[in-house]
Amino acid sequence: MKEIAKKLGVSVSTISRALKDSPELHPETKRKIVEMAKEMNYQPNLLAQSLRISRSKTLGVIVPEITSHFFASCISGIQDYANKRGYNVMICQSNESIEQEKANIRTLVSSQVDGLLISLSRETNQFDHLYDLYNREINFVLFDRVQEDIPVSKVTFNDAGGAYQVTHHLLEGNNRRIVYVSGPEDMYISKKRKEGYLKALAEYGIEKDPLLIKISDLTLEDNVRVAREIAEMVPRPDAVFCMIDPVAVDVLTEWKSMGIKIPEDMALAGFTNNPTAAVVEPPLTTVAQPGYEMGKLAVTHLLDQLDGLASEDPISIVLETTLVPRKSSRHFQEK
Amino acid sequence: MKEIAKKLGVSVSTISRALKDSPELHPETKRKIVEMAKEMNYQPNLLAQSLRISRSKTLGVIVPEITSHFFASCISGIQDYANKRGYNVMICQSNESIEQEKANIRTLVSSQVDGLLISLSRETNQFDHLYDLYNREINFVLFDRVQEDIPVSKVTFNDAGGAYQVTHHLLEGNNRRIVYVSGPEDMYISKKRKEGYLKALAEYGIEKDPLLIKISDLTLEDNVRVAREIAEMVPRPDAVFCMIDPVAVDVLTEWKSMGIKIPEDMALAGFTNNPTAAVVEPPLTTVAQPGYEMGKLAVTHLLDQLDGLASEDPISIVLETTLVPRKSSRHFQEK
DNA sequence: CTGTAATGTGCAATCGTCTGCGTTGGCACA
DNA sequence: TGTGCCAACGCAGACGATTGCACATTACAG
């Protein structure tokens, strides 16, 4: 702007007004300035603008890991809808570490983001950093991996509902002894999906059997361990429902190498509908979670809050999931 | 800072110096200020800092799509190594559109990023926007999908080498009529991988046969079309090498539904080593490209340039790929 | 020919942080 | 008492864009 001003012999204020199309400027001056600006390829310094108005038009996003297809979809939705409303997005990954999560929050806040979208790390079982944000009146929305008690808006899936659907589906296939492979117990989705699993069992008059609930730390090794333990159970279970697809894929791979046939020997189901679920052999029954949609809703609500379009009161948006029945559960026991 | 200054009855400059640990301050004053800053949970405004020093300590990244596992890995590497050196990262996706790519560049430049890491969209066949960056002396590095003529640093895979490896592997399996399924012809990787494919054929004294080079626009429909065309060729080819895994997976799925056996009827290979490649049935032979590593190298070089640790002259870093032989190519023709 | 309004521009302050230079006060020494 | 020096801190300007207010110029009415 300074350079344009010097070249045209006017003040910087005039330049600013011309580019803002202020009505109190001489049309001729305005024309010259706009022309010159284009010629010199002037691009406003967003930093300076943000500093002045104390709004950066930037949102911060924290996800456990970008390489997960589900979170990548969320990010994609967030990006698209943030851009549509003139916002930029800074993305961080916590790598499933609470310390990294805290560090991410610090840098994003320092960067003056106008709001945050957070999906909690696997490790996060203590929430001071979130309450801290809340007390400092920094806008944020939790999605997918949320903490229920914090009075902020949340976007989740009906995880219990999805787990109910898939368990119900397995029960209809005449499976009775159904294993639930859970992730770490304090994860939100571990709990919710267990709820749905148990509810479906209850409806069929099946009592909860603690032996049929397995816990994996979600690493490949632990998934394999669980797969073997299940295979060696006597009597062998009829079906297995894994909390997330990657676990189911690891189980499937291990079973295949052990010579166990799916779905003939045991039925199998996952959750999330990762791209891999469709292409493994046999294709994996799972529950679809529209990640892009989740990102879209989360960011839209956050922006509505920022722009005063939504009420201040936190809301909870619950997305429905869809059962995707595939061959891995096409297994009708005759009893 | 202003609030701290008021509470302690000193000037803002003193606060600034205390927090910068300036030696010309009374230790006692310094102690008090640091204490108070911690108590009030002071966090510096990075916008203001950036404005002052005209460096935002932020990098911009543009990838065709975040949901691709390969690009997600790159981003992950970029993130990790940028953070290690005190930089933040703003990520954009071009959605394979040149217009979106240009728009992304504009906003990132306006946001005063210190440098850019760009992987070109599928559509990008004209490069004014890149030359423009170059002329404005904005630092950027191209990775994976690059344009060769621009005098900036690039990080690529030895795409020709990888294609050579996989084609050679197929030839060793005694396949002779090998189809190459390419993406759009002006894509960098389409060309490079074709080079490697042809080189391997040449070494075996096989002449280039235009009929054996198929072009897909990489959509599911077009991949299916290509799969069918190949299946109906007379005589049927021995093997197919697809430019990227997703194409190979689509071909595989289509062939399976047509009753074609892999690798018995035809061998198949892809490129990239996507997670899906390992779990399809049969597992897909492919070429591994370490995306995380690529991101790491690209960002490290960019930061070295920015910090004056690397010479100004553009360099080209070429990463080697690794053949991942799997069952889909385990096919030894007896002729 | 003067007063007044309308029109078009410039000045200066602001956002939060940083830093060169100047100021203040205290002390030692001549 | 005067001079010089040093430690400790404040002032002011800068980064770039914006905007209320003041100012200058002109036109026009009285």
Per-residue model confidence as pLDDT tens digits over B156-206: 999 999 999 999 999 999 999 999 999 999 888 999 999 999 999 999 999
Question: Closest nucleotide to A14's CA, by C1' atom?
Answer: C9
Percent of chain A residues past pLDDT 70, beyond the cut: 99
Optimal mutation site among A56, A88, A95, A274, interface B, most CBs of chain B within 10 A: A88
Summary mean pLDDT of chain A: 93
Q: What are A193-210's pLDDT values in tens digits?
A: 999 999 999 999 999 999
> How far is it, in rounded angstroms, from Cα A32 to Cα B198?
57
What number of other Cβ atoms are within 10 A of residue B331's Cβ? 22
Strands B140-143 and B115-118 come out as parallel
Residue A275 lies in a domain: yes
Give the predicted TM-score (pTM) of the model: 0.91
Question: Closest nucleotide to B27's CA, by C1' atom?
Answer: D8
Please state the domain count of chain B: 3
**DSSP state, B52?**
H
Report CA(A309)–C1'(D13) in Å, whole number.
41
- Which residue stretches of chain B are H helix? 2-8, 12-19, 27-39, 46-53, 69-84, 98-110, 128-135, 159-172, 188-203, 220-231, 245-258, 275-279, 291-306
Contact A76 B56 (CB under 8 A): no
| Residue of chain B whose Cα is closest to the Cα of A253 | B279
Question: Closest nucleotide to A11's CA, by C1' atom?
Answer: C10
- Based on the domain organization, do A209 and A279 belong to the same domain? yes
**For strand C, is any atom closer than 7 Å to the CB of B89?**
no
Question: Closest nucleotide to B48's CA, by C1' atom?
Answer: C16
- Based on the domain organization, do A170 and A273 belong to the same domain? yes
Q: What are B255-284's pLDDT values in tens digits?
A: 999 999 999 999 999 999 999 999 998 999
Q: Choose the closest CB to B51 out of A47, A58, A109.
A: A47
pLDDT band at B310, cuts 50/70/90? confident
Determine the longest span between alpha carbons in chain A, in angstroms: 93
Region A101-111: mean pLDDT is 95
**For strand C, is any atom closer than 7 Å to the CB of B12?**
yes
The boundaries of the domain holding residue A276 are 159-289+323-329
Return chain A residues 51..90 having CB < 7 Å to nucleic acid strand C.
51-52, 54
> How far is it, in rounded angstroms, from Cα B157 to Cα B164?
13
pLDDT of residue A23: 82
**For strand D, is any atom closer than 7 Å to the CB of A1?**
yes
pLDDT of residue B335: 39
- Based on the domain organization, do B163 and B233 belong to the same domain? yes
- Based on the domain organization, do A163 and A145 belong to the same domain? no
pLDDT of residue B198: 97
Contacts of B55 in chain A (CB under 8 A): none
Q: What are A236-256's pLDDT values in tens digits?
A: 999 999 999 999 999 999 999
Contacts of B131 in chain A (CB under 8 A): none
Q: Six-digit token pair at A93?
A: 């990954």
Residue A165 lies in a domain: yes
A→B contacts (Cβ < 8 Å), by residue, are 41, 43-48, 50-51, 56, 58, 65-69, 72-73, 75-76, 79, 88-93, 106-107, 109-112, 132, 136, 249, 253, 275-276, 279-281
pLDDT of residue A335: 38
Residue A200 lies in a domain: yes
Residue A335 lies in a domain: no
Contacts of A65 in chain B (CB under 8 A): 76
**For strand D, is any atom closer than 7 Å to the CB of A2?**
yes
pLDDT band at A332, cuts 50/70/90? low
Region B104-133: mean pLDDT is 94
- Based on the domain organization, do B142 and B184 belong to the same domain? no
**Comparing B12-26, B78-92, B144-158, B282-296, which segment has the lowest mean pLDDT?**
B12-26
Q: What are A173-200's pLDDT values in tens digits?
A: 999 999 999 999 988 899 999 999 999 9
Strands A322-324 and A286-288 come out as antiparallel
Kindly give, in sequence order, each residue whose CB lies less than 8 Å from that of residue B219, ignoring residues fewer than 6 positions away. Answer: none
Contact B43 A111 (CB under 8 A): no
Contacts of A89 in chain B (CB under 8 A): 90-91
Which of left, alpha, beta for A290 (phi over 0: left; psi -120 to 50: alpha)?
A: beta
Contacts of B132 in chain A (CB under 8 A): 41
Optimal mutation site among B39, B53, B279, interface A, most CBs of chain A within 10 A: B279
**Is the model's pLDDT at A334 over the cut of 70?**
no
Residue A49 lies in a domain: no
Q: What are A125-137's pLDDT values in tens digits?
A: 899 999 999 999 9
Q: How many CB pairs under 8 A join A and B?
A: 107
Q: Choose the closest CB to A276 out of B46, B112, B276.
A: B276
Contacts of B73 in chain A (CB under 8 A): 67
Region B229-251: mean pLDDT is 95
Region A295-304: mean pLDDT is 97
- Based on the domain organization, do A283 and A190 belong to the same domain? yes
Q: Choose the closest CB to A48 out of B51, B72, B249.
A: B51
DSSP assignment of A11-50 equals -HHHHHHHHTT-TTS-HHHHHHHHHHHHHTT----HHHHH
Residue B50 lies in a domain: no
Residue in B141, B78, B143, B89 with CA at minimum distance from that of residue A88? B89
> How far is it, in rounded angstroms, from Cα A94 to Cα A120?
8
Burial of A268 (0-12, 13-18, 19+ CB in 10 A): buried
**For strand D, is any atom closer than 7 Å to the CB of A54?**
no
CB A85 within 8 A of CB A303: yes
**Is the model's pLDDT at A333 over the cut of 60?**
no
- Based on the domain organization, do A180 and A243 belong to the same domain? yes
Contact A47 B276 (CB under 8 A): no
Contact A279 B275 (CB under 8 A): no
- Based on the domain organization, do A66 and A28 belong to the same domain? no
**Is the model's pLDDT at A331 over the cut of 70?**
no
**Is the model's pLDDT at B84 over the cut of 80?**
yes
> How far is it, in rounded angstroms, from Cα A194 to Cα B332?
48
**Is the model's pLDDT at B334 over the cut of 60?**
no
- Based on the domain organization, do B124 and B178 belong to the same domain? no
- CATH for B261: 3.40.50.2300
Optimal mutation site among A80, A91, A92, A245, interface B, most CBs of chain B within 10 A: A91
Q: Choose the closest CB to B50 out of A47, A67, A68.
A: A47
- Based on the domain organization, do A79 and A134 belong to the same domain? yes
- CATH for A12: 1.10.260.40
- Based on the domain organization, do B170 and B136 belong to the same domain? no
Summary mean pLDDT of chain B: 93
Token look-up 């702007």 returns A1
Residue B142 lies in a domain: yes
Return chain B residues 43..62 having CB < 7 Å to nucleic acid strand C.
44-45, 48-49, 51-53
Question: Which nucleotides on chain D have any atom < 7 A from a protein Cβ?
Answer: 7-12, 14-20
Q: What are B44-77's pLDDT values in tens digits?
A: 999 999 999 999 999 999 999 999 999 999 999 9
Report CA(B44)–C1'(C27) in Å, whole number.
38
Region A144-172: mean pLDDT is 95
Question: Closest nucleotide to B52's CA, by C1' atom?
Answer: D15
**For strand D, is any atom closer than 7 Å to the CB of B47?**
no
**For strand C, is any atom closer than 7 Å to the CB of A2?**
no
Q: What are A64-80's pLDDT values in tens digits?
A: 999 999 999 999 999 99
Q: Choose the closest CB to B280 out of A50, A51, A280.
A: A280
- Based on the domain organization, do A108 and A205 belong to the same domain? no
Residue A51 lies in a domain: no
**Is the model's pLDDT at A92 over the cut of 90?**
yes
3-state secondary structure of B83: helix
Question: Which nucleotides on chain C have any atom < 7 A from a protein Cβ?
Answer: 7-12, 14-20
